[in-house]
Amino acid sequence: MSSVKIFSGTVNHALAEKIAKIYGIELGQMVVSRFSDGELQPSYNESVRGSDVFLIQSTSAPSDNLMELLLMIDAAKRASADYITAVIPYFGYARQDRKDKPRVSIASKLVANLLTAAGANRIMTMDLHAGQIQGFFDIPVDHMDVAPIFVPYLKKQNLDKIVFAAPDMGAVARVRSFAEHFNAELVICDKHRKRANEIASMQLIGEVKDKNVILVDDICDTAGTLVKAASLIKEKGAISVRAVCTHAILSGQAFARLRDSELTEIIMTDTLPMSGSLDKIKVLTCAELFAKAIQKIHEHQSISPLFM
């Protein structure tokens, strides 16, 4: 059996080190150089010939970091790696999975084509914004379930009268899976956007009075949706409002919005490095889940036992 080698791009170095440590190997040595015009050149400082290579790189900010990942894949392929898995904890461009207006790109499909053309044999990611993106690939995609990270933590909080809330209609399926683990009800915050990252209106479908409400979403970008939903839920009589969010992009005024919001706690993962800190934010690592998945893939075992 070929040896496992784990490498990190510039985005997820801390996470990659945790994954390698849990797996029981040293993180592979590579450097990413830049030309004076910003052009990237990743290079491996050790042989990958005949190895089962796992490249860990989220693609946010997407323009530079996606290109870096593509070059990492190409370099590994040209260095005769036996099998290349792109581990993309946060998959950028997932919000552009369809034509929602005329004359726009379906960026998710384009990214899938680019990763495959670069030489990736397999993709591993977590909590895609749109699950159907898996179908854009002609290579295997392992879509990791985030519930094994969040559910045990939430159960330890011993909250009663729990209700789970979807911050928009698109999150209903994700929220329902969480609610089933707690035998809890769900409510929906139905929003209407003026444009990207700007909400025009929101209304609540369901009852939250005298309940401990947990909002569930995949991405927290500007935090506008979560904060508006939390405010609406509190206005309707909830005891407390918490949020569970997988990918902490936290751009613009996100930290200030979360700080001043009605949210008691925001629970996130380390699929992306945190650009700041806030007492309300609790970060749970996804390193163990990825390490276990890497082991199972390398040993040609099913990853189904890693799902809840």
What CATH number did the domain enclosing 33 receive?
3.40.50.2020
Tell me the C-alpha distance between 94 and 3, whole Å: 32
248 in the same domain as 168: yes
Q: Indicate the average pLDDT of the chain.
A: 94
Strands (E), the chain: 4-8, 30-34, 40-44, 52-56, 83-88, 122-126, 141-144, 162-166, 185-195, 198-205, 212-220, 240-248, 265-269, 281-284
| Whether residue 113 is found in the same domain as residue 69 | yes
Give the whole-angstrom CA distance, residue 160 versus residue 142.
34
Indicate if 223 and 296 belong to the same structural domain: no
Helix axes 107-118, 62-78, angle to 10 degrees: 20
Please report the pLDDT score of residue 184 as a whole number. 96
Give yes or no for residue 13 having a pLDDT over 60: yes
195 has a pLDDT exceeding 80: no
Provide the number of structural domains found in the chain.
Answer: 2
Are both 74 and 195 inside the same structural domain? Answer: no
Query: Tens of pLDDT along 71-86?
Result: 999 999 999 999 999 9
Residues above pLDDT 70, as percent of the chain = 97
Residue 237 pLDDT exceeds 90: yes
Q: How much is the average pLDDT of 64-75?
A: 97
Residue identified by tokens 């789970």 is: 164
Number of helices (H), then strands (E), in the chain: 8, 14
Q: Please give the average per-residue pLDDT across 273-299, as a whole number.
A: 96
3-state class (DSSP) for residue 92: coil
pLDDT of 267 higher than 80: yes
Note the pTM of the prediction, 2 decimals.
0.94
Are 215 and 275 within one domain?
yes
Picking from 30, 7, 247, 288, the residue whose alpha carbon sits closest to that of residue 152 is 288
Q: What pLDDT does 122 receive?
A: 99
Of the pLDDT bands very low, low, confident and very high (cuts 50, 70, 90), residue 198 is: low
Tell me the pLDDT tens digit for each residue of 82-121. 999 999 999 999 888 888 889 999 999 999 999 999 999 9
Residues 186 and 135 in one domain: no
Contact between 213 and 238 (Cβ < 8 Å) = yes
52 and 80 share one domain: yes
Specify the pLDDT at position 61. Answer: 83
Q: Of the residues 5, 21, 109, 191, which is catalytic? A: 191
Q: Which amino acid is at 170?
A: G
Q: What is the band of 65 on the pLDDT scale with cuts at 50, 70, 90? A: very high
Torsion angle, alpha carbons of 63, 66, 68, 71, to 10 = -130
Which 3 state secondary structure label does DSSP give 42?
Answer: strand
Task: Count the residues in the chain.
Answer: 308
Q: For residue 241, give its domain range.
A: 147-284
> Do residues 139 and 9 both lie within one domain?
yes
Residue 228: active-site member: no
When pLDDT is cut at 50, 70 and 90, the band that residue 197 belongs to is low
Quick check: 14 pLDDT over 60? yes
- Do residue 81 and residue 182 come from a single domain? no
Q: Find all residues with CB under 8 Å of 130, minimum gap 6, and list them.
A: 94, 95, 97, 98, 108, 170
- 103 and 72, same structural domain? yes
Separation CA 199–CA 191 (nearest Å)? 7
What digits encode the pLDDT tens for the residues 202-231?
A: 899 999 999 999 999 999 999 999 999 999
Residue 208: count of CB within 10 angstroms of its CB: 22
Q: Which percentage of the chain shows pLDDT scores above 90?
A: 86
Whether residues 172 and 134 fall in one domain = no
pLDDT-based confidence at residue 1 (cuts at 50, 70, 90): confident
Cβ neighbours for 55, distance < 8 A, ≥ 6 positions apart: 7, 8, 9, 69, 72, 73, 76, 84, 85, 86, 87
Q: What's the pLDDT at 276?
A: 87
Mark whether 125 and 83 lie in a shared domain. yes
Contact 253, 118 (CB under 8 A): no
